[in-house]
Amino acid sequence: MTQATHPQLRSTAATFTGLKCKECGAEYEPKAIHVCELCFGPLEVAYDYNALRRMVSRESIQAGPHSIWRYRPFLPVETDQPIDVGTGLTPLVQAHRLARRLGLKKLWIKNDAVNMPTLSFKDRVVSVALTRARELGFSTVSCASTGNLANSTAAIAAHAGLDCCVFIPSDLEAGKVLGTLIYSPTVMAVHGNYDQVNRLCSEVANTHGWGFVNINLRPYYSEGSKTLGYEVAEQLGWQLPDHIVAPLASGSLFTKIYKGFQEFIQVGLVEDKPVRFSGAQAEGCSPIAQAYREGRDFIVPVKPNTIAKSIAIGNPADGVYAVEIAQKTNGSIESVTDAEIIEGIKLLAETEGIFTETAGGTTIAVLKKLVEAGKIDPEETTVAYITGNGLKTQEAIQGYIGEPLTIEPKLDSFERALERSRMLDRLEWQQVLV
């Protein structure tokens, strides 16, 4: 049995008090553990919110670094020298043209397609996990990944000088594999889906003593996602939105945006108000959407079959908690087809100039579906979370976008090509009209 925590033994810089079981409330020391020994529930980081309330203000946050580390007191690390590669504080842009297309008035895009250093929101969770891994004395870090997590772990481990070995399903997109290999970690491509990769990694974590960011370090890792809540609140002028739409893989990101908002309310940084939480999944891997639709309080695992590989988790660890949050906030969880996901990627690109990957396409397609079903009020301040970059999943849209017009280096060749393309545009319009 693990001993109770002794906060007085740790550095005064730490505002977290230990780990706590989400199910039975049992408390543990903040080590590299993630499952409750008593009930097998997931462990979560607990904080001293009275200390935080005294310690943190809007001004102190704004005076902090231009990265997620401006929220360091809310993150589970003791050091004041975290691994800071400029992760976070990505743009929150008002999406006027997309809003008009959808029939909304106040739509914002939180754009983690340009998060640093590897262009997905995973850089947030990995920056936190590896900072904690270093504090806990790990020299080798690892992960079970659907692609983006491997990119982040390999890149940030390289920056921090940690040894790195990552595990991915062998059928990932070329851009995701290349975006890991460039940092020279050891890459294990496993013949199997993500859930099989994850099971293998649990065994390796037990036998090799490595820090797996999303297994034995998961309680610390997942706290990094709270920064997606903090930043939106700060960037909206220290206010919460009315409605958020975010993609669901394990469901962790979704539940941590919720925790982030709650914490800001609790320490008095924003005013309390109801925020509706809506989640997005791909139909080919939608165990959380199915549980929500059927009003179940348990997840039935599925075998993933979708182009949205970065969110294709068939047995989502935080699925049940995501369903609870959607229910109690009067939100929703929806799924969309691969064809709708491609349309979503194109719609965001054409209206806002943001090229997202399949997870972002899923979010935009679900946003559209929710508006059409009357589940988002046009007057609601709505934030859609775009979590990854389109350059990493190019094969998903291959054959669904136009082609360049190849011409000779001569003016008349250009003029003829331009005329041809205008004619094609007119033809397309006529087809739309009939």
Ligand X SMILES: *Cc1c(COP(=O)(O)O)cnc(C)c1O
Binding region for ligand X (CB under 6 A): 120, 122, 148, 247-253, 310-311, 357, 359, 387-388
For Zn ion, which residue of 4, 39, 114, 401 counts as binding (CB under 5 A)? 39
| Least Cβ distance, residue 295 to Zn ion (angstroms) | 25
Spell out the residues 6+ positions from residue 302 whose beta carbon is closer than 8 angstroms to its own. 285, 286, 287, 290, 314
Residue 427 burial (CB count, 10 A) = 10
Residue 300 partner contact from Zn ion, ligand X, none using kind-dependent CB cut-offs of 5 to 8 Å: none
| Least Cβ distance, residue 30 to Zn ion (angstroms) | 16
| Least Cβ distance, residue 252 to ligand X (angstroms) | 3
Q: Of 17 and 120, which CB lies nearer to ligand X in the complex structure? A: 120
| Least Cβ distance, residue 385 to ligand X (angstroms) | 8
| Least Cβ distance, residue 20 to Zn ion (angstroms) | 9
Strands (E), 114-169: 140-144, 163-169
Q: Of 24 and 405, which CB lies nearer to Zn ion in the complex structure? A: 24
| Least Cβ distance, residue 148 to ligand X (angstroms) | 3
3-class DSSP assignment, residue 361: helix
How wide is the angle at C-alpha 218 spanned by C-alphas 136 and 341, nearest 5°?
145
CB of 244 within 8 A of CB of 257?
Answer: yes
Taking CB under 5 A as the rule, does residue 37 contact Zn ion? no
Residue 39 partner contact from ligand X, Zn ion, none using kind-dependent CB cut-offs of 5 to 8 Å: Zn ion
* Pairing, β 27-28 against β 16-21: antiparallel
Q: Of 5 and 362, which CB lies nearer to ligand X in the complex structure? A: 362
Strand partners, 247: 280
Taking CB under 5 A as the rule, does residue 36 contact Zn ion? yes
Spell out the residues 6+ positions from residue 199 whose beta carbon is closer than 8 angstroms to its own. none
- Provide the phi-psi class of 283: left if phi over 0, else alpha when psi is between -120 and 50, else beta: alpha
Q: Of 251 and 287, which CB lies nearer to ligand X in the complex structure? A: 251
Which chain residues interact with Zn ion by CB under 5 A? 21, 23-24, 26, 36, 38-39, 41
